[in-house]
Amino acid sequence: MKISVFGLGYVGTISAACLAQMGHEVIGVDVNPNKIGMIAQGQSPVMEAEIGEIIAEQMKQQRLTATADGAWAFARTDLSLICVGTPGKENGSIDLTYVQRIFEEIGDYLSSKSSFHWIVLRSTVLPGTTEQSLIPILEKKSGKSAGKDFGVCFNPEFLREGSSVWDFFNPPKTVIGLLNLSDAPPLLALYESLPAPVIKTSIRDAELVKYLDNVFHALKICFANEIGRVCQALKVDSHELMNIFIQDTNAPIH
């Protein structure tokens, strides 16, 4: 497949490099010239085990390239992964500036493209954002209709910084949020070879699943810290205690 990846941070770099390693032709796009320069030299813009070697090898094989020219990358690919940042604001909401801006740019690219193109959002956004805020931007800018003239889906990322290459090839699950459950985006074929269930659901469900995942991991960390404190006070080995606790497979918490 010919894939463009917009945003070469943690999520975009890992996705771009690993998809290239799976045999796809990948063009990474970023507004930061330092990141483009690093990838062009076969180096990784993010610190992660194995990623440097994968980027170097995929650049050599010419399956991976990087550019600041989004229009060029969009025109040469059939599917775009959007991985720009959605940083948290002080009031707890998220900043959609980067996502909105990239959807405006892609709306322009769509207007001059005659073949069908899939836009896959991987950035974390609140439920309802894709359908209420982002698809309208694409439709307004391109003058085309989502689901008819171009495809849109939401594919949350569950990788953990520190083990993200391993996580990419061994995901706990793959969730694809669709406008119509009967849609069959080429994304499905992309994940076919990975050892995880592929779950098709609505876009809103897929957006919320990512938050559920984040919140439950935070809850587990808080729980483990609390138990650790109790164990310390009672002079009990917390690892031994947790090993016993997680043997409950009828109501698993892990």
Ligand X SMILES: NC(=O)c1ccc[n+]([C@@H]2O[C@H](COP(=O)([O-])OP(=O)(O)OC[C@H]3O[C@@H](n4cnc5c(N)ncnc54)[C@H](O)[C@@H]3O)[C@@H](O)[C@H]2O)c1
Residues that bind ligand X (CB under 6 A): 6-12, 29-32, 35, 70, 83-86, 98, 101-102, 105, 122-124, 157, 159, 161
Cα dihedral across residues 189, 68, 8, 127: positive or negative: negative
Alpha carbon distances (Å) from 214 to 131, 150, 175, 193 = 22, 30, 15, 25
Rounded to a whole number of angstroms, the minimum distance from the CB of residue 160 to ligand X is 6
Rounded to a whole number of angstroms, the minimum distance from the CB of residue 157 to ligand X is 4
Rounded to a whole number of angstroms, the minimum distance from the CB of residue 213 to ligand X is 9
Which residue lies nearer to ligand X by CB, 98 or 191? Answer: 98
Q: Which of 72, 204, 238 is nearest to 129 (CA)?
A: 204
Which residue lies nearer to ligand X by CB, 40 or 227? Answer: 40
Which residue lies nearer to ligand X by CB, 58 or 155? Answer: 155
Which residue lies nearer to ligand X by CB, 69 or 226? Answer: 69
Alpha carbon distances (Å) from 186 to 1, 8, 98, 118, 215 = 8, 22, 25, 8, 30
Which residue lies nearer to ligand X by CB, 25 or 105? Answer: 105
Which residue lies nearer to ligand X by CB, 68 or 189? Answer: 68
CA atoms within 13 Å, Cβ hemisphere of 193 = 9
Side chain identity at 122, as an amino acid letter?
Answer: R
Residue nearest to ligand X (CB): 9
Rounded to a whole number of angstroms, the minimum distance from the CB of residue 45 to ligand X is 7
The three-point CA angle 154-158-161 to 5° equals 130
Rounded to a whole number of angstroms, the minimum distance from the CB of residue 104 to ligand X is 9
Rounded to a whole number of angstroms, the minimum distance from the CB of residue 55 to ligand X is 15
